[in-house]
């Protein structure tokens, strides 16, 4: 589904990603862990098409097409979704109007007609209920005055509405208490199928207790330095990252 080959990216001339190789198959859940500043969020942004980052080398292949040069909206149209670490507040646009616009723009790009209003409403209600969202949120301005947890829940609500093929969750667990974390994780698990994939970006093993990854990668200084199964996440939780640094140093 997603294949990243030798990806290099920089921001304002500073290299952040220094040769990432990653392959995600349909039905898989991958987790990327790593210390602060290792490039985790940059990788998420680059896959989603954030133009603040410059891809200097390598390719991003999504469903056999090279998407490295595509605009963020075109990537969304193909089924890539990024749950933001810091969702942006947009006063004056309600959650409902935003998601309606989003869904219908994606449908338009796919050559489909607007979703009928009653179908849209039913889906909004269903997904909001699944995420235990207060109905009031739907008519509030997008993310404006939302708590950290509410913002994250709203991101997963959008994901549930858009039903992406590849969902990238950038630090979705940060700012969530344990109850909210369970609700959000439950939402993500319900959306999982053999045809879609999830890329989790996280600091902590905690989220991985609820959304169990098939593959865990460790990202350090812009490179994936270690790949393993869910046991690797547990090990990182217990031992931190220093032992991997030492391993790396030994290799050199």
Partner 1 sequence: MDLKEKLISSFFAFEEQIDLENDIHQLRNNAIKFFENKGFPTKKEEAWKYTSLKSILKDDYSIFPKKEETIEYRDIKKYCIHEIDTYQIVFVDGIYASHLSNTTHDKFDACLMSSALNNPKYKSIIDTYFNKIAPEESLTALNTAFSKEGAFIRVPKSVAAEKPVQILHFSTGNESALMLQPRNLIVVEENAQIQVIERHQSLTANAVLTNSVTEIFVEKNAMMDYYKIQNDKISSSLIDHTHVKQESNSHCSVHTFSLGGKLTRNNLNFYQHGEHINSVLNGVTILEGKQHVDHNTLVHHTQPNCESHQDYKGVFSDRSTGVFNGKVLVDKIAQKTDAFQSNNNILLDDKASINSKPQLEIFADDVKCSHGCTIGQLDQEALYYLRSRGIPLKEAKALMMFAFANKVLTGVKIPEIKNRITKQIALKIGVHLGFDL
Yes or no: say if 148 and 174 are a contact pair by the CB < 8 Å rule: yes
- Lateral strand order in the sheet of 2-11: 14-24, 2-11, 54-62, 65-66
For residue 25, give the DSSP letter. Answer: -
Residue closer to partner 1, measured from CB, 51 or 242: 51
CB of 169 to partner 1, least distance (A): 13
Residue closer to partner 1, measured from CB, 141 or 174: 141
CB of 175 to partner 1, least distance (A): 17
Residue closer to partner 1, measured from CB, 155 or 213: 155
Beta-carbon contacts of 12 under 8 Å, excluding residues fewer than 6 positions away, are none
CB of 68 to partner 1, least distance (A): 16
Residue closer to partner 1, measured from CB, 118 or 231: 118
CB of 130 to partner 1, least distance (A): 19
Yes or no: say if 94 and 36 are a contact pair by the CB < 8 Å rule: no
Yes or no: say if 96 and 46 are a contact pair by the CB < 8 Å rule: no
Residue closer to partner 1, measured from CB, 90 or 129: 90
CB of 158 to partner 1, least distance (A): 7
User: Residue 39 — left, alpha, or beta (φ > 0 → left; ψ -120 to 50 → alpha)?
Assistant: left
CB of 223 to partner 1, least distance (A): 25
Binding site for partner 1 (CB under 8 A): 48-52, 71-73, 75-77, 81-82, 84, 87-93, 97-98, 100-106, 109, 114, 141, 158, 162
- Lateral strand order in the sheet of 223-228: 80-83, 166-170, 197-202, 29-33, 215-220, 223-228
Residue closer to partner 1, measured from CB, 88 or 252: 88
Q: What's the Rg (C-alpha) of the chain?
A: 18
């Amino acid at each position: 589904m997603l294949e990243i080959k030798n990806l290099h990216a920089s921001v304002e001339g500073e290299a952040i990603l220094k040769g990432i190789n990653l392959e995600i198959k349909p039905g898989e859940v991958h987790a990327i862990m790593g210390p602060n500043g290792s490039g985790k969020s940059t990788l998420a942004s680059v896959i989603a098409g954030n133009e603040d980052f410059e891809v200097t080398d390598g390719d991003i292949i999504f469903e056999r097409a090279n998407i490295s040069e595509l605009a963020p909206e075109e990537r969304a149209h193909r089924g890539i979704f990024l749950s933001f670490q810091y969702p942006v507040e947009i006063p004056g646009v309600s959650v409902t109007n935003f998601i309606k616009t989003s869904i219908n723009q994606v449908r338009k790009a796919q050559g489909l007609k607007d979703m009928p209003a009653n179908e849209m409403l039913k889906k909004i209600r269903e997904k909001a209920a699944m995420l235990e969202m207060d109905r009031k949120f739907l008519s509030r301005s997008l993310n404006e005055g939302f708590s950290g947890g509410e913002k994250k829940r709203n991101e997963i609500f959008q994901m549930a509405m858009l039903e992406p093929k590849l969902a990238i969750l950038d630090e979705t667990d940060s700012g969530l208490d344990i109850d909210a974390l369970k609700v959000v994780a439950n939402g993500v698990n319900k959306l999982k199928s053999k045809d879609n994939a999830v890329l989790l970006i996280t600091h902590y093993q905690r989220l991985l207790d609820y959304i169990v990854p098939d593959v865990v990668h460790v990202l350090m200084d812009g490179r994936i330095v270690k790949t393993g199964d869910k046991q690797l996440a547990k090990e990182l939780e217990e031992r931190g990252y220093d032992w991997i640094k030492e391993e790396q140093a030994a290799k050199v």
